[in-house]
Structure 1
């Protein structure tokens, strides 16, 4: 054996030993270098080629691995399909799996196919594969398999036996299944348990607080969604804000939290909503969101444009939405017609809806209701009535009958309103089935309408139908007696026998109170008189009580003033204020200095001396028994200092 061959074998042997060691330690970058050493001396070694593909996958080089497989023409369908799956090419991955000649498929290929089908939202097929795997497979990956199985179940309406919820992933998937069935309160409880288990398990595994928060945020966002669907606003808004503030690594989580925040904002905080909707529609989320999620985000973007008042943008987005999601084109058409009506283009909006109704027979009924709404916004009641009458058998639905009656009454056409109710009564008597729902309200309203209009026979028909639904309703029986009494006295007498006896409906005290009450009086006065009669003792005659009542109700004579003289006419100005009366004299201004007492040029002292009014006042004060007040020296409070009292340090002021 030559020296070169020995060296080659030693290199291969040493390199494979390194590959094995690095693979066991999870150091796949180093393992890749060791594989390259093998390929350096043996480029066609199938084991080394396979090892290199595995190493490329382990270091997440999913774009390089398929190229390497094709270049070397390797038959590795599982590895190729897995790379395509990770590159968000599920259709390509499914085609690769289905094209391989292996039959039956090994376990790893089956599990990959089930995951690919789940990503393609073919949940029924994915569920069948997982059922087969769980039935025929048992290994170390049972927990992960159950988790994936529960995730598929949450998207299927089929009832599946309860799975053990011993992990937080199982609890989370179980809550998603409940929320898909609109059981949001139960789902919220499951999510709280999931959050608790998640924290406990991750703390046991030695995860950091950041890693725990990253994992719990997914659960919290789903919890906020359940709260939001129950009509709560404050708590979900806080959770979404915290999630976006923490900047999670999962782009799907950012998209969901952003979109749900936009929904909470509605037509408020439009600037904030525009920023968040851009985050929800980022390219990084495109391949990871489900079709339902992408559709909801695109629809919310159209609504946001409508709220923003940007007409051109709204119309463009609606057209794009209809092209991308033809199965949900009705929502896009409605938003577009709403924008046209906001722009006062009512005719164009109605034409747009009529065109859609003509081409989509399955959605024609809902579209016609939208047309009616637009016509009513214009005040066009006649055309709205015509559209309602063109609904065929749907016009006999209780809501449509009510709308027609209201519109006819608005047009002051009572005979037409009566005709609508008559035709509805006749139709339901002939065509109605057990699936018609509760029609008691419609029968009652029709009967009352015809009774008010004097059409007793038609009212009786409605009341008979209502009596079938509520056979023990005393009010219906009484109304039926009143209706038959107007045209068939014998029938009225027969039905009246079905009414309960008066004694069973009222007690003796209620009858006495009813007889004593005056129907002209108010309810309060009637109750008062009834209670007064009840309080009266048996020995007191009723006449005395009536006399007392009459006496208490007697009008009293008003009091006159003490000096009143009936012969003298009262003062006509007696109700006017004093200053407005004709004999009122204004007081002289004491500050006026135009009055001079004494001779001209006299001093002030002399003026006071010869001012006889002051002299008289002084003598009057001296002779008065009232003591003269003594004026004190003005203290600090009377001096009105600007600075007030200054407090000295350590003493009193």
Structure 2
């Protein structure tokens, strides 16, 4: 009886330690107390559950799963903890299975299941579960859940699933960052860049107020900067994007997924240039554990870029191998892989072999995407078969009326000189969009092409019809109105004059019309500027004002008078001067050199003009031999010498002897 009482007392003491350490968040000591408790009382289910909780708090998920596996009787109520450990170990499939088989019905289970769906990229299920969690919960984690909901909305938009849930900037930089990602998913890159810039400033300010070290601030803000760099890249500012990516990688972010994304974007900007830098970026992309930190779509894009890099660097065998691996893991990118393979075959086996490869793909899949068919057209054009390319484009069904396809066919027709066929195709495309009442933007592009072609062919009546219809849809577009005035000027001047009154008045009141109409402004712009109204020419030839670079120290400067040209008194204006009069005699076209007596060599005298043979000996330095006692050529008594620095030295001054 005494031993039993002692055991109960010991048991209560150990449970007291477990409770005290858990309240103090000292999970290392809590785990040790749990181990002592289970050593003395191996059947204690509460002690086992406490041990699993301590392992989770210490991020020892592998050990927790091993403990659960070795004690199935004690872990029958730990399905949630087991699922959470699997989730943290990136085994999300097993985690989902455990939660589905669990009988527990709680908010934490629903929230964990939503996070698992997020990892599985099943964003629609995740979105529905998170809305359910937010609706049924009311605690201090409300803002974090709202941030996660916006992140899921961003993933939906980036995956091509439109999500119109309204999002506004919040009180935290995390929420602002996710709002920026939503705008990126919708293609609103300028608006997203503005929101991300505000999120970056707010992030730096918040962390500085919390006393976070500068290195950690740079690490935290890197993800916002990389996303902002992506916006700059999509907006065409590639140099700025490259600078942002490089700066983010120099910080060496702790998130390997973020580093891989930045390296991949640099790889896409390098293309077939800067090969050594691209190889270094590929190593970052292929680092261990990257696939667990990025989405499947991002990983697929990285693999495609590696295939393209191998293609650009002529590593054809490596490219074929990467394409096979990519097709096995991501069957949805079959079209991109086929086009890359066709490019490899075109370089190794020829254009006809590449053409056959694409034709085989299309025959196996008659509903092949437009990009595959356009790849076939590209190979045909590379072979110089223009008419066959036109036939392939005309046989694209409804896709042949897309503005890009129409533009390609029109260009090919114009290259063949068949402008009538080009104009006919544009009219067919416009009629197609009119009948189906779709694609107003496409119609605008086609109208512009049609009008340009009609004006070029001189068909102004048809051009007027198209422009009038376009002007009805866009009455505020002054460019269309100006084109309409030009077209009417060829047909009806009164109508053109009437329409021209709607155009805005140009602000040319200060210009001289006579000067604009004269050709002098094209020849000499400075002379034309002098005749502009409101511009005064200095009348006094004596003085002008001059200022220094700072705008101060004004001083009066005399204006230099132009020198008059002096004309010789015996000048005959009827005779044209000799154009070679300024050249030496031996360089003139009529000069005939005299031959020497010895060996018939030509004696070309290029010495001093006017020098006699007697004076020549005076200037022959080779004839002079210096005697040992003779003074140097530049004697000290000749006068003051000039040093290299430009200062004169007294040559007569004797050097002081050293004492």
| TM-score over 0.5 (shorter chain) | yes
Distance verdict in 2 for CA 1:270–1:411, change over 3 Å: same
Supply the distance in 2 between the matched residues of 1:501 and 1:204 (Cα, whole angstroms).
Answer: 66
Aligned match of 2:58 = 59
Taking the aligned partners of 1:521 and 1:194, their CA distance within structure 2 comes to: 57
| Cα 1:649/1:69, change in 2 over 3 Å | farther
Look up the SS of the partner of 1:282 in the other structure. coil
Q: Which residue of 1 aligns with 2:10?
A: 11
> Which residue number corresponds to residue 589 of structure 1?
613
Correspondence for 2:147? 147
The secondary structure found in structure 2 opposite 1:264 is helix
How far residue 152 of structure 1 moved from its aligned partner, in angstroms, is 1.7
1:302 aligned residue: 307
User: 1:87-131: per-residue Cα shift (whole Å, max 9, x none)?
Assistant: 1011211111111123xx201111111111111111222122221
Contact 2:410/2:422, CA 8 A, preserved across alignment? yes
The equivalent residue for 2:22 is 23
1:44-193 aligned within 5 A? 44-73=43-72, 74-75=75-76, 76-102=78-104, 105-156=105-156, 157-162=162-167, 165-193=170-198
CA distance in 2, matches of 1:69, 1:641: 94
1:35/1:52 contact within 8 Å kept? yes
Q: How many residues align structurally?
A: 553
The one of 341, 351, 354 equivalent to 1:349 is 354
Instruction: Give distance in 2, aligned partners of 1:321 and 1:182.
Output: 27
Distance 1:419 1:135 in 2: 62
C-alpha RMSD of matched pairs (Å): 4.5
Closer, same or farther in 2 for the Cα pair 1:267/1:475, shift >3 Å?
closer
Going from structure 1 to structure 2, the CA distance change for 1:524 and 1:297 (only over 3 Å counts) comes to closer
2:447 to 433, 440, 445: 440
Contact 1:447 1:463 in 2 (8 A): no
Residue pairs, 1:602-617, within 5 angstroms = none
Residues 376-385 or 22-31, more deviating: 376-385
- Aligned partner of 1:261 in structure 2 is 266
The structure with more radius of gyration: 1
Q: CA, structure 1 residues 313+502, in 2 after alignment: closer, same or farther (shift >3 Å)?
A: closer
Specify whether residues 49 and 176 from structure 1 end up closer, same or farther in structure 2 by C-alpha distance, changes over 3 A only.
Answer: same
Distance 1:503 1:441 in 2: 20
Contact 1:168 1:194 (C-alpha < 8 Å) held by counterparts: yes
Instruction: Please tell me whether the aligned partners of residues 642 and 649 of structure 2 are also in contact (alpha carbons under 8 angstroms).
Output: no
Matches of 2:151 and 2:165, distance apart in 1 = 12
Q: Residues 124-164 of structure 1, C-alpha deviation per residue, up to 9 Å, x if partnerless?
A: 22122221221221123223222222222222332224456
Trace 1:555-566 onto structure 2 (pairs within 5 A). 562=570
- Given the alignment of the two structures, is residue 407 of structure 1 paired with residue 406 of structure 2, yes or no? no
Q: Tell me how far apart the structure 2 counterparts of residues 642 and 464 of structure 1 sit (CA, whole Å).
A: 81
Distance 1:246 1:233 in 2: 20
2:35 match = 36
| Conserved 8 A contact 1:478-1:496 | no
Give the structure with the larger helix fraction.
1
Query: CA separation in 2, counterparts of 1:77 and 1:22?
Result: 24
Q: Is the 8 A contact 2:173 2:200 kept in 1?
A: yes
Shift of 1:587: 6.1
Do residues 286 (structure 1) and 291 (structure 2) align? yes
Structure 2 partner of 1:339 = 344
Q: Comparing 201-210 with 84-93, which one deviates more in the overlay?
A: 201-210
Contact 1:175 1:191 in 2 (8 A): yes
SS of aligned partner of 2:289: helix
Change (3 A) 1:411 1:69: same
Q: 1:38 to 1:323 in 2, by over 3 A?
A: same
1:369 to 369, 374, 380: 374
Q: Say if 2:413 and 2:421, in contact at 8 Å, map to a contact too.
A: no
- Residues 649 and 82 from structure 1, CA distance in 2 versus in 1: closer, same or farther, beyond 3 angstroms? farther
Aligned to 1:492: none
Residues 365 and 229 of structure 1: CA distance in aligned 2, closer, same or farther (over 3 Å) = closer
Equivalent residue for 2:424, pick from 422, 427, 433:
422
* Deviation string, structure 1 residues 557-608 (Cα, Å, up to 9, x no partner): xx99849799x9x99x999975656899996422568xxxxxxxxxxxxxxx
- Measured in 1, the distance between the counterparts of 2:213 and 2:521 equals 73
> Does residue 250 of structure 2 align to residue 245 of structure 1?
yes
User: So what's the TM-score if we normalise by structure 1?
Assistant: 0.72
Q: Which 10-residue stretch deviates more, 14-23 or 224-233? A: 224-233
Cα displacement (A) at 1:420: 4.8
Mean Cα deviation higher: 393-402 or 280-289? 393-402
Bigger shift: residues 358-367 or 86-95: 358-367
CA contact (8 A) 2:150 2:167 kept: no
Q: 1:401: how far off?
A: 4.3
**Structure 1 unaligned runs (5+)?**
484-494, 508-515, 533-558, 594-632
1:207 partner SS = coil
Structure 1 residue 49 displacement after superposition = 1.3
Distance 1:288 1:216 in 2: 17
- Partner Cα distance (2:572, 2:142) in 1: 111
